[in-house]
Amino acid sequence: MTNTIAADPEDSTDSPDRTDGADPGGGTDGADSAGSALGPKLTPRETWRALYRHFRPHRRIVALGAVLALIGAATGLAQPLAAKALVDRLGDNGSVGGILVLLTALVVLGTAIESVGAYLLERTAESVVLAARRTLIGRLLRLRLPEVERTQPGDLMSRVTSDTTLLRAVTTQSIVSAGTGGLAFLATIVLMGLMDAVLLAVTLGVIVLIGGAVALVMPKIAEATRRSQESVAKISTVLERAFGAFRTVKASGAEDRESAVVEAAAQEAWRHGVRSAKWQSVASTSVGLAVQVSFLAVLGIGGARVASGAISVSTLVAFLLFLFYLLDPVSKLVNAASQYQVGSAAIARIEEAERLETEVLDTAAPATAAADTPASVVFEDVTFRYRDTLPYVHHGVSFDVRGPGMTAFVGPSGAGKTTVFGLIERFYEATGGRVLIDGKDVRDWPLPELRAAIGYVEQDAPVLAGTLRENLVFAAPDASEEAIRDVLLRAKLVTLVENLPDGLETLVGHRGSKLSGGERQRVAIARALLRRPRLLLLDEATSQLDAVNEMALRDVVAEAAREVTVLVVAHRLSTVTLADRIVVMDAGKVRAVGTHQELVADDPLYGELAATQFLASAR
């Protein structure tokens, strides 16, 4: 049977997402942790700044749309004045044909101009959403690993999809509606005041009374929308978790339980969505109520003023038309306020995601082709912990590896072996001490250049959705066909490719679901080898292989070790004994370094682990 030097995968302080059973970010993998609160809430000023940042690149087009909307509003304002002239002409038995033509022209012209403006604004709104998604995706894919580990992927995806969609209205329609609606409102009020100050006072009294009530519901709209978006993010989180372990869900008979969790999140989103819709409907219907009450008040008081001779009938007609026209700018103002409350919640969530810490990629030093010389790796008294609130994983780790050759890291679970690789790749930054590659601190390397020199095979050997070819060339997109054929041969993947229906163009499924565990591991190893690295990191890269394929790939690794530096986190004794040197780790420290024979004789822990394997082999 095939033996392992430590029976379990690393699961304690060596794993960033399994520290004493908890996530280093303080969350869990449960459905109730959607990671919605990534940072402190934005102040209104910060929200406006973030809104303007999205709006600024499109401000000229938005301004043009606003001008067209104002022209359309101006044609509307001219209609009551034309109607007044029409009534006066009728009273004098004059010709009304010209005025009717003018009214018709105003209606048609205003409608056409407003249609063009509306199209420009809708098109710009889509451009705002596209730009926001492009920026956010670029940032999220460059997040530092600790940031990703303390957040839920489903929540981050929701911010890219759902939250950015809400920017459509607030960054264009809301701003333009507020501007044009405000100007049209002031112009209408001025014209109404010139006609009759008494009737204007009656109208404003009603509008202010109802408007004050509307203002009270605006914060409720924002809060309900924020909670609704968080619930939508929770749905994405739960679904991402379920589909990420789909076979486990089915094998555990957990479909109903997982469905119930998703349904609960959907119900919560529905409740908050309904609450937001309720308050928005209150705000929108209040506009109509204000105009209707104003109409009744103006009709009654205006009729009395006509009877007393204070104003003419034509003035009352024009004033009533202005009052009905006032419905549009007031509606725009209220809708703009409602859209802003909805959009501000989305903007806050997008801004929180954009504040997450990203890796700094030195664009002046792009990734270069790997050199032929093997890399050296030195740890100098390295200390490390995933967060300030968590215990240390490394307590002064020191070792020196000179290439070429193979160095194996062994020890109990949680000893800190996998974390060594994370620090070399700069997925994490050392809390203390130094990590040196070729005598240079990894923090002084441009990240693209550092990672171009490293081939890395993770513990679970992930395979991405797509074709087999896409997975093989993922780290070396410019690899030649000859190089691909060579790595397929070395990784024992030729037979697999021949048996696939479309060869290298065969889709491998979500996370490589159409491949076996051993096939995924071989694909991951081939992907790393195709990059021609100077430093090859293998985190238990043969754990899912059968004995025949393991032996073959051991030969591949041994061959690579003649040219490059190979570091292996190993649990299998068969892998360990091939190493030129072995680093024994325990409780975050290096306790011994040597060959297999030296360590069996001199280190009790290694001797115990090795003896356990020999006993297992004897059985």
Judge whether residue 617 has pLDDT over 80: no
What integer is the mean pLDDT of 67-96? 70
What integer is the mean pLDDT of 197-215? 79
Judge whether residue 14 has pLDDT over 70: no
Judge whether residue 235 has pLDDT over 90: no
Which of 127, 86, 131, 125 has its CA nearest to residue 104?
86
* pLDDT at residue 95 in the model: 64
* pLDDT at residue 361 in the model: 67
Cβ proximity of 85 and 318 under 8 Å: no
* pLDDT at residue 370 in the model: 46
Distance CA 175, CA 204 (A): 24
Judge whether residue 2 has pLDDT over 50: no
What is the rounded end-to-end Cα distance, in angstroms, of the chain? 8
Cβ proximity of 563 and 374 under 8 Å: yes
* pLDDT at residue 440 in the model: 93
The 3-state DSSP class for residue 267 equals: helix
Digit-coded pLDDT (tens) for 236-272 = 777 777 777 776 777 777 788 888 888 888 888 888 8
Cβ proximity of 311 and 84 under 8 Å: no
Judge whether residue 378 has pLDDT over 90: yes
What integer is the mean pLDDT of 531-541? 88
Cβ proximity of 86 and 99 under 8 Å: yes
Share of the chain above pLDDT 90, in %: 14
Judge whether residue 615 has pLDDT over 60: no
* SS3 labels along 388-442: CCCCCCEEEEEEEECCCEEEEEECCCCCCHHHHHHHHCCCCCCCEEEEEECCEEH
Digit-coded pLDDT (tens) for 552-595 = 777 778 888 888 999 998 877 777 888 899 999 998 999 999 98
Judge whether residue 3 has pLDDT over 90: no
Judge whether residue 85 has pLDDT over 50: yes
Q: How confident is the model at residue 292 (pLDDT cuts 50, 70, 90)?
A: confident
* pLDDT at residue 64 in the model: 84
Judge whether residue 536 has pLDDT over 90: yes
Q: Which of 121-135, 335-349, 455-469 has the lowest mean pLDDT?
A: 335-349
Judge whether residue 537 has pLDDT over 90: yes
Q: How confident is the model at residue 366 (pLDDT cuts 50, 70, 90)?
A: very low
Judge whether residue 436 has pLDDT over 80: yes
Which one has a higher pLDDT value, 23 or 151? 151
Distance CA 283, CA 275 (A): 13
Q: How confident is the model at residue 544 (pLDDT cuts 50, 70, 90)?
A: low
What integer is the mean pLDDT of 212-223? 75
Match 């103002």 to its residue by tokens.
333
* pLDDT at residue 614 in the model: 46
* pLDDT at residue 32 in the model: 40
What integer is the mean pLDDT of 99-115? 77
What value does the mean pLDDT of the chain take? 79
* pLDDT at residue 122 in the model: 78
Flag whether the pTM goes above 0.75: no
Distance CA 441, CA 448 (A): 15
Residue 116 structure tokens? 């063009």
The sheet with strand 535-539 has its strands ordered as 454-457, 535-539, 565-569, 405-410, 581-586, 589-594
Q: How confident is the model at residue 21 (pLDDT cuts 50, 70, 90)?
A: very low
Alpha-carbon distance values, 394 to 150, 364, 585, 587, 599 (Å): 20, 33, 10, 8, 22
Q: How confident is the model at residue 24 (pLDDT cuts 50, 70, 90)?
A: very low
Quick one: DSSP state of residue 170?
Answer: I
Q: How confident is the model at residue 401 (pLDDT cuts 50, 70, 90)?
A: very high
Q: How confident is the model at residue 368 (pLDDT cuts 50, 70, 90)?
A: very low
What integer is the mean pLDDT of 536-542? 83
Distance CA 511, CA 232 (A): 24
